[in-house]
Structure 1
């Protein structure tokens, strides 16, 4: 009985909980293969799967397929992740290792910006980008990531950097390393788990930023996946089968990235803020 409680029962509970969590995904897959008439039925799997929901959804527009929307989104994500990771690491290194005047005040201001809701800054940002002529382009969606990458990511990396022994910096200085040499040769390799965490969060959050994409992009040729999904909904009808099929494909990149980078993601979250 004791063996059952200590070994078997936890596995049973984990399996049951996993099935409960994965059930919506199973329903999602089944619903993406259903005809419109079966969507309201309580069955999980359709009687006659409509695999053409995927092909029809992929080629829903005569001029632009979902392959174009995926390519647009991935290109935008590449700029967001690269810019966000590099600049967040640089700014965090300054706050975490360098001594300069009013460092505490500037860091406090940085943390205060985390408390501002997006609705407060979205209007002045739109006016600014519109005056520069950057609307209907990816610049408003990518450029902010090249200016620090976001207060949350800077704070996360600062906590990670502060946990690294300063003796490493002193030893590098004795060997003649400059400030930038210490950053690229010492700090950057040691904060790789935190950088992967920042990259994953940046990718997922910007991928899901439907409001920003809707606000700045108006040309169909520049649509992202989120805006492409919106094309299945009009004032007269909703192509539910195709919408569910393409929405299922739209979550695959985030799921795959999280799956393959899970080791670094868990390590970055587990060790950030627990040292120093």
Structure 2
């Protein structure tokens, strides 16, 4: 398996030659505008994709499926809806399937729990996109586990650390866990994705897993950057199995 971070939560996962694009935010820098309920006047996304429009189109031609964890615009933006082939398989939960169908996509693979697709076992996982009233407003989110034979990758999605994450780790026993860091926070309420403390908790709960951190330095409500999170990883002696990915970086997932 290979993994490439494009930007924010947009990932390209390659499993034995099958390419799955996760949570595509494909618009140019600033195309999403301001994030509501924040004090920031910055236009999002804060950075461009790490390759040209021409390269993007070429990459999209080689994609076999798209997996969508939820419909917030930093995971499924207008540009993705416009650029993606409407016949490409879209892997998602039943919560958002109808909405994606209304956007013109005709090949939706709904995963309620677990299914097999091209010899890959795909499971949806639970997530909690914040706490209290903010968490409720953020709606239902999920993650995915992709498993091929004895190899498994758990993409946690936009979630904080809470008991269900531990239960998903216990259930799926993934060798690799991909988390959304950055401690994104609105003007009120607690963080809606993982803080560096949450990331450390994941590492300590799953001592046999390698942890990869994404969702950094691309949207304006994130409070922790790569340097801050890397320092926390180093403080806890986890630098050999917890890695902060850079935009465009491609890694081999070893099992």
Q: Where on the TM-score scale, by shorter chain, does this alignment land: which range? A: under 0.3
TM-score norm. by structure 2 comes to 0.22
TM-score, with length taken from structure 1: 0.21
- Greater share of residues in helix: 1
